Structure 1
Amino acid sequence: MKKIIMVWFFFSIFFVSIVAMAEDTTSEEFKKLDEISNYAWQLSKQNRFEEAIQLLQYFDQEFKNIPINTKVYSVDELHVLTSSHHKALDALEKETIDPDEKIKAVTQFRLVVDAMISEHQPLWGTMEEPIMTTFSHLKSDMEEGDLQGFQQEWNEFLSLYEIIYPSLTVDVDDQNIKRVETHISAIEGNMFLELSEHTKFQQLLAMEEALQDIFHHADKNESDPSLLWVIITTGSIILLALTYAGWKKYKADLALKLQRKEIDK
């Protein structure tokens, strides 16, 4: 029994080490991709689109060479990454697209890559100030009854939110995103304009709270369920081994005491 426990113990330690090494390898490779995406982003902001295209093509080559560990990045996260990459590359390659839209697409991609490797303070979090400032203007326009100004600010808000949305799907809990999406749908609907001014303003306040919750509680949960299972299993085996050893020692001590009592008699 003791030998079996020890075999399982060493096997679990070995497995944990393999998982940790695989995660470290994948993370290091993604750091290289992060640097490439950053260079492409910087070039696009300088309107050096041809060079940015070359870097995004290089990114694609490097990404395909990475042995993806789905214990580190989920299938959904990888889909968001590849989708935003294709969108950015497509925008850069089309001459008919406005330069600002090209930069927007590359920025969106850049934020996704960063979100996948950042443990704290992801880049998309820096968008809090412009987004919340625009939202503040929305509330002011609503209070003043300036519907034209409200619509302009609303379009600006949607443009900014669209930039961070893909990275939110990587970093933020689905329920928090759905709260914001529900408010957006309600304000976009035809019924919104027919509501009372008080009800409209309350809708905006509720949406503002949902946005603040995203920005203030956006830290990604870095705990991987499979790795936690391994750690818990290993801990259980260690505890079992110690309990077994203690029980054996107790039985041996008890037997020794009984033997001494027999001798004393």
Structure 2
Amino acid sequence: MKKWIVALIIGMVLIHIKPALAEETYDWESLNQISDSALQLAKQERFSESAQLLEYFAVKFEEIPIDREYISLDHFRTITSTHKNAKDIIQDEKISTDEKVRSLTKFRLVVDAMVSEHQPLWGSMESSIMETFSQMKSDVEEGDNQSFQHDWNQFLALYEVIYPSIQVDFDSQRVKKMDAHISVVEDRLFQEIPETSRVKQLAIMEEELKALFERVKEDEADPSLLWVIISTGSVILLSLSYSGWRKYRGEKEKQAKRENNNQ
């Protein structure tokens, strides 16, 4: 029964795969749908079926050539690593459901980051991450080291989920900059420096985080607005075409009547 369900899901995904035209194409959207289905199955604790979809993803992903036109070597490695991690975790019975879903979420987000040109899904985690970071600053200001460590660990867990996506959407220098900020806070000496210095360091890191999220919001065009424009244009074109056809048909009918009257 489970095999039939997975086969049905794969079949539904294949329906959306775009046909090849003059040359072979590689449909990232179908891979995006496979990753989403794998995540949804994991959320339902249907781990065996989710693992089968991950296997199918690997087969389709290997068909994509590694070059600038389709995917860079760095991005290929990022997705491959995230996929392997998700596959290993979901098949491990000792690992909790939450951890399995977290791993699949990380995989889902990085695939979407490769596909989305506007506002990738990982940007939706901004609120959770920034709220946690704000709480960390409050912990430092209040001198509550225990709460700070708890909130810091929570922040790292959230940031880890979007980290592969950031690697895909930003250049390596930008990623290394955030890595450096994290290394500073993780260093045991961080707790020994004055409170004002710690708050200042966190404020700098906070601005860098905000800049990351703001960057993915800077779209060339609002997709919803673009859809309205395309839809409106299509309706206008269809209306003009229909009006022209009615006019043409009317002229033909008049001509036919004149010919009948002349006979």
* AA partner of residue 94 (structure 2): T
SS at match of 1:119: coil
- Which residue of 125, 128, 145 corresponds with 1:127? 125
Residue of structure 2 in register with 1:80 after alignment = 78
Question: Where does 1:41-190 land on structure 2 (aligned, <5 Å)?
Answer: 41-67=39-65, 69-190=67-188
SS at match of 2:49: helix
Work out the CA distance in 1 between the residues paired with 2:218 and 2:102. Answer: 24
Residue of structure 2 in register with 1:17 after alignment = none
List alignment gaps of at least 5 residues for structure 1: 1-19, 223-265
Instruction: Report the Cα offset of residue 162 of structure 1.
Output: 0.5
Instruction: Report the Cα offset of residue 45 of structure 1.
Output: 1.6
> Retained in 2: the 8 A contact 1:172–1:220?
no
Instruction: Report the Cα offset of residue 191 of structure 1.
Output: 1.1
Work out the CA distance in 2 between the residues paired with 1:81 and 1:93. Answer: 18
> Retained in 2: the 8 A contact 1:41–1:110?
yes
TM-score normalised over the length of structure 2: 0.71
Q: Which has the higher contact order (CA 8 A, sep 6+)?
A: 1
Aligned length: 200
Residue of structure 2 in register with 1:25 after alignment = 25
> Retained in 2: the 8 A contact 1:131–1:161?
yes
List alignment gaps of at least 5 residues for structure 2: 1-20, 221-263
Work out the CA distance in 2 between the residues paired with 1:45 and 1:102. Answer: 9
Work out the CA distance in 2 between the residues paired with 1:176 and 1:69. Answer: 22
Work out the CA distance in 2 between the residues paired with 1:167 and 1:196. Answer: 34
Q: Which moved more, 1:213-222 or 1:134-143?
A: 213-222
Work out the CA distance in 2 between the residues paired with 1:214 and 1:95. Answer: 36
Cα distance per residue 1:182-221 (max 9 Å; x no partner): 1110110011111001000001100000101111113699
Cα distance per residue 1:128-166 (max 9 Å; x no partner): 110001001101111111111110000000000011111
Measured on the aligned residues, the alpha-carbon RMSD in Å equals: 2.1
The structure where helix makes up a greater share of residues is 1
Work out the CA distance in 2 between the residues paired with 1:77 and 1:145. Answer: 41
Work out the CA distance in 1 between the residues paired with 2:68 and 2:175. Answer: 23
Larger radius of gyration: 1
Work out the CA distance in 2 between the residues paired with 1:178 and 1:63. Answer: 27
> Retained in 2: the 8 A contact 1:131–1:160?
yes
Cα distance per residue 1:72-112 (max 9 Å; x no partner): 31111111111111110000011111211111111111111
Residue of structure 2 in register with 1:235 after alignment = none
